[in-house]
Amino acid sequence: MADIKSVQLRDFHALRWEEPVIMEMDVPGERGVLVPAAEEAVEKEVGDGVSVLGKLKRKKAPAIPEIAQSRLIRHYTRITAENLGSDNSLKISDGTCTTKYNPKVQEHLAAQHPGCTEVHPLQPVETMQGVLEVFYGMEEILKAISGLDKFSFQPGGGAHAVNSNASVIRAYHKSRGDHKRTEIITSIHTHPSNAATPSLNGFKVITLIPKENGLPSIDEFKAALSERTAAFFFTNPEDTGIYNTQIKEYTDAAHAAGALCSYDQANGNAVMGIARAREAGFDLCHFNLHKTFSAPHGGFGPGCGAQGVRDFLAPFLPKPTVEFDGSKYYFDYDRPQSIGKVRSFYGNFQAVLKAWMWCRTLGPDGLKEASVIAVLNNQYLVKQIMENVPGVSLPWDRGQRRMEQTRFSFMKLKEETGCGIEDVNNRIVDYGVPEIWESHHPLTVEEPFTPEPCESYSKEDLDYYAKVLMTVAQECYDDPEMIKGAPYKASKHQSLNAFAEEYEDIATTWRQYKKKFKK
Amino acid sequence: MAAEKKSVGIIINPIAGLGGRVGLKGSDGADTVERALALGGKPESPLRAGKAIEQLLEIKDKIEVYTYGGPMGEEKLRELGFEVNVVGQPAAEKTTAADTIAAAKKLRDAGVDLIVFAGGDGTARNVCEAVGLEVPVIGIPAGVKIHSAVYAINPRNAGLAAKEYLEGKIQTLNESEVMDIDEELFREGRVSAKLYGYMNVPASGSRIQNMKSGGGSEEGDLAGMAGHIVVNMEPDTIYIIGPGSTTRSIMEDLGLPNTLLGVDVVKDKKLIASDVTEPQLWEMIKDPERKVKIIVTVIGGQGNIFGRGNQQISPRIIRRVGKENIIVAATASKLIALNYQPLLVDTGDAELDEELSGFIEVVVAFGQTSVYSVSS
């Protein structure tokens, strides 16, 4: 282990532009693009192109800001440069999110190859065989990694995939005439979408509270199971980084009660090539291609929650599925039991493409090695943090090692200095390190934080990260008042935490803002 | 303008904690105080209070400080360099519970925004008796017995919470339990804490929890939990509503008045009896044809669902209603705060306690429950 005391921290200062909101930059009459006039032949067909809309034509122009191209580019370039992202900082801070390096060859291909950029979802299937081959190939890879039998790439994110799995579960029980199964069981340290999306699907949610080892109790789990249980939704390792070695006992008990088991593998970074959903007894799972599989993140936008199931659930997956008849690929819409479409067309092809390239680059051995390094990295960082950072504690510490991420607590720091994780986060950005993800709700430890040093980071990166954390924690002891005024070198000063404010005091859209504050 | 300034009232129970170091369980009662002093007990309360109050030095020009005379605050505050308004003097050199009550009332009448008091469970009971939910409070733990949730985990944190509240950084208040050893049971040789009331405490610990939730706040869970129970209420069924601020949210959802520390009875969403005694309750439900359900909450930090503060719901009543008709309501945060301890039943009937042990479903939010261990 390196002695991080000798690690030299670099000077850092963020850009600060105080950019206005894009809606405030509106200058009536300014244009970013001058749309060319329609060709004569087109005009002959549709006239001015607007009057054909008839009643569909909106009465008022949309409130889109009018901005010249140069100002627009300046605006977005500036706010991009103000960011601390995975390309300019140690995104180790973003625990549970697996923000790994996004290889640029993947980004270039997806953004520039005409076979990707010029393809239209409605063009004949024969003319996009390459695209379908990528979908099909990625499905084969995920089948091998999970041991499950069929995948859909339609969900645009992790929660979307869990929701879609909940819909499959509902459809499955309904198809068997089993209408009593109205409950699902999950745990607090499993991502909250595993409670939220079954709830959206009409299930009652039973949430298990962790015990001294950070895990739910198998006895309480068994007591919660009944003929009303539709499914068990679980993450393993959970958000805490603790792996539940008893998992097969849970899934066996669930199956004995007639329930299905759904595995949230949004973050599957600890177990690729090491442990599979199938052997652990799961019937459904999902992988976030924008986490474990190196595609970039982006809240229900460019992401993909690949949803996988065992064969007996395959008829319920979203349609169409991608099939191969031995000579050509095609979309199968003839799936009468399908829960239907969950997103337009086929999902985010670009995320699937990037993930497929990544897997093909690494190969099976490389994928396993990525998981091994991710876990090793985390265990190294845990040791550096526990030995060097004052005020830190490791909750549920019973000697077991953490997997790919770790939930720590700064409770001791808070008690001894008055500075907690919110203060550390205000200061850590002064060192060019993004604020650390704390925890999902509700908190099970006070002052929590959860770093995740995936395989993209070198030993030097981990030492640097631990040194920054050590320095900030020490500053909390030496000069808490300075910490309370932080950050000093970031692009923004102590931005408002909208979640903490009264609804009346915040606006989440421009229209709301105008209504509430510009009367 | 003076009216713009936030004001804080400080009460120090100078004899709190006196008994601890010399092996006496608490300092309640004049005899105990004498014995403690005779045994060499030193007043630690002012020292601990000082550690909390120091945190306010930085904002001393922005706040008005009110306190009680002599050792009950004035001395310590002047020593630390505060300018103080003294609202009254203790009746005698040796201060008593009556002085704490008088001080709290006078501070309330002075219109303070917050009362910070140093003491133990006895002190908390006195302040609660004087001001109840009228004025927000923060307890500086300085006594021997600290069962009450109104206390910060240490003096420094009490001071920081006070500072943040006065600066407007904390705006949420939590109704927190005032607990003390049940003296009747104590005389019978059983040590158990009893619920004496609730006071409003600035939410310093859960502040972050509220911040991170984004729609899943404690308040939201509480409202959802109440809504869940109310929409699932069955017609022509008597609901026995146990005490506590959690169950009160159910009454609020129903738009009914509520007895915070007593048992109310609801049928068809209408209040049919308030603050009932055990015999009154028995009279209402003894008819075996009657459909009856009990709604109780969990005592914060302790885990009791029966036998603390709801003794009106006696063993014969619980047996009559049956385990399957008991609805336990508590937010997930409340269960987490039990620190892995099981829920507890202590009805005074060992056989019934045994029957109630095992697992029980707890309503934690709308459409959400948990299954949790119960032990006797």
The rounded distance, in Å, linking the Cα atoms of A90 and A9 is 13
Mean pLDDT of A210-216: 94
CB contact under 8 Å between A188 and B373, yes or no, is no
pLDDT over 50 (residue A5): yes
For B251, the 3-state DSSP assignment is: helix
Percentage above 90 pLDDT, chain B = 57
Hey, which residues 332-351 in chain B have their CB within 8 Å of chain A?
A: 332-333, 335-336, 340
Q: In this predicted structure, which of A20-24, B259-263, B273-277 has the lowest mean pLDDT?
A: B259-263
Chain A: nearest CA to B121, how far in angstroms? Answer: 22
The rounded distance, in Å, linking the Cα atoms of A454 and A404 is 7
Reported as a single tens digit per residue, the pLDDT across B75-111 is: 999 999 999 999 999 998 888 899 999 999 999 999 9
Report helix angle A459-478 to A421-428, nearest 10: 120
> What token pair was written down for B264?
């109310």
Measured between CB atoms, does B357 come within 8 Å of chain A? no
Nearest CA in chain B to A204: B367
CB contact under 8 Å between A205 and B160, yes or no, is no
Q: Which residue has the higher pLDDT, B180 or B267?
A: B267
pLDDT of residue B29: 66
Cα A433 from chain centre: 20
Reported as a pLDDT band with limits 50, 70 and 90, residue B196 is confident
What pairing do the DSSP bridges indicate for beta strands A150-152 and B343-345?
unpaired
pLDDT of residue A507: 87
Hey, which residues 29-68 in chain B have their CB within 8 Å of chain A?
A: 55
The rounded distance, in Å, linking the Cα atoms of A431 and A463 is 14
- Please report residues of B whose CB lies closer than 8 A to that of A195: 368
CB contact under 8 Å between A418 and B160, yes or no, is yes
Q: What is the pTM of this model?
A: 0.81
Hey, which residues 141-170 in chain B have their CB within 8 Å of chain A?
A: 153-154, 156-157, 160
pLDDT over 50 (residue B351): yes
List of E strands, A21-113: none
CB contact under 8 Å between B214 and A208, yes or no, is no
- Residues found in chain A: 519
Instruction: Give which of B311, B295, B301, B294 is closest to B345, Cα–Cα.
Output: B311
CB contact under 8 Å between A220 and B367, yes or no, is no
CB contact under 8 Å between A208 and B370, yes or no, is yes
How does DSSP classify residue B48?
H
- Please report residues of B whose CB lies closer than 8 A to that of A447: 208
Chain B: nearest CA to A497, how far in angstroms? Answer: 7
The rounded distance, in Å, linking the Cα atoms of A235 and A210 is 13
pLDDT over 50 (residue B215): no
CB contact under 8 Å between A441 and B212, yes or no, is yes
Cα-based distances in Å from B100 to B123, B131, B193: 7, 11, 21
pLDDT of residue B212: 32
> What token pair was written down for A237?
């390792």
pLDDT of residue B25: 52
What pairing do the DSSP bridges indicate for beta strands B173-181 and B193-202?
antiparallel
CB contact under 8 Å between B335 and A209, yes or no, is yes
pLDDT over 90 (residue A200): yes
The rounded distance, in Å, linking the Cα atoms of A177 and A185 is 21
CB contact under 8 Å between B216 and A500, yes or no, is no
Q: Which residue has the higher pLDDT, B338 or A31?
A: A31
Longest dimension (CA), chain B: 69
Q: In this predicted structure, which of A88-97, A333-342, B298-307 has the lowest mean pLDDT?
A: B298-307
Q: In this predicted structure, which of A148-152, A334-338, A411-415, B130-134 has the lowest mean pLDDT?
A: A411-415
Chain A: nearest CA to B213, how far in angstroms? Answer: 6
Cα-based distances in Å from B339 to B206, B280, B353: 15, 36, 22
- Please report residues of A whose CB lies closer than 8 A to that of B160: 418
Percentage above 70 pLDDT, chain A = 98
pLDDT over 70 (residue B161): yes
pLDDT over 50 (residue B2): no
CB contact under 8 Å between A220 and B156, yes or no, is no
pLDDT over 80 (residue B209): no
Reported as a single tens digit per residue, the pLDDT across A219-258 is: 999 999 999 999 999 999 999 999 999 999 999 999 999 9
- Residue with structure tokens 């990260």? A465
The rounded distance, in Å, linking the Cα atoms of A160 and A193 is 9
Q: Other CB atoms closer than 10 Å to residue B44's CB: what's the count?
A: 18
Reported as a single tens digit per residue, the pLDDT across A430-461 is: 999 999 999 988 889 989 999 999 999 999 99
pLDDT over 90 (residue A479): yes
Chain B: nearest CA to A205, how far in angstroms? Answer: 5
Beta-carbon pairs below 8 A across chains A and B: 95
Mean pLDDT of B218-246: 91
Q: Other CB atoms closer than 10 Å to residue B345's CB: what's the count?
A: 23
pLDDT over 70 (residue B30): no
- Please report residues of A whose CB lies closer than 8 A to that of B331: 442
The rounded distance, in Å, linking the Cα atoms of A427 and A424 is 5
> What token pair was written down for A63?
């409130």
pLDDT of residue B213: 34
pLDDT over 90 (residue A470): yes
Mean pLDDT of B143-162: 82
- Please report residues of A whose CB lies closer than 8 A to that of B336: 188, 209, 442-444
For residue A223, what is the enclosing H or E element? helix A218-224
Of B55, B205, B371, the CB nearest to A446: B205
The rounded distance, in Å, linking the Cα atoms of A515 and A512 is 5
Mutation target to probe the B interface, by most B beta carbons within 10 A, among A197, A199, A207, A217 is A207
Which DSSP string corresponds to A165-219? HHHHHHHHHHHTT-TT--EEEEETTS-THHHHHHHHTT-EEEEEPP-TTSS--HH
CB A354 within 8 A of CB A295: yes
The dihedral region occupied by A96, where left means phi > 0, alpha psi between -120 and 50, and beta the remainder, is: left
pLDDT of residue A498: 67
Mutation target to probe the A interface, by most A beta carbons within 10 A, among B55, B154, B157, B208 is B208
For residue A480, what is the enclosing H or E element? helix A480-485
Mean pLDDT of the residues in chain A: 94
pLDDT over 60 (residue B211): no
Q: In sequence order, what are the beta bridge partners of B304?
A: B344
ipTM of predicted complex: 0.88
Mean pLDDT of A354-378: 98
pLDDT over 90 (residue A312): yes
Mean pLDDT of the residues in chain B: 86
CB contact under 8 Å between B212 and A217, yes or no, is no
pLDDT over 80 (residue B334): yes
Reported as a pLDDT band with limits 50, 70 and 90, residue B173 is confident
> What token pair was written down for B85?
């308004």
CB contact under 8 Å between A442 and B214, yes or no, is no
pLDDT over 60 (residue A145): yes
Measured between CB atoms, does B270 come within 8 Å of chain A? no
Reported as a single tens digit per residue, the pLDDT across A277-288 is: 999 999 999 999
Reported as a pLDDT band with limits 50, 70 and 90, residue B221 is confident
The rounded distance, in Å, linking the Cα atoms of B50 and B34 is 24
Reported as a pLDDT band with limits 50, 70 and 90, residue A53 is confident
Mean pLDDT of A324-351: 95
Mean pLDDT of A23-40: 92
pLDDT of residue B143: 76
pLDDT of residue A151: 98
Chain B: nearest CA to A374, how far in angstroms? Answer: 27
pLDDT of residue B6: 93
Cα A288 from chain centre: 7
- Please report residues of B whose CB lies closer than 8 A to that of A421: 208
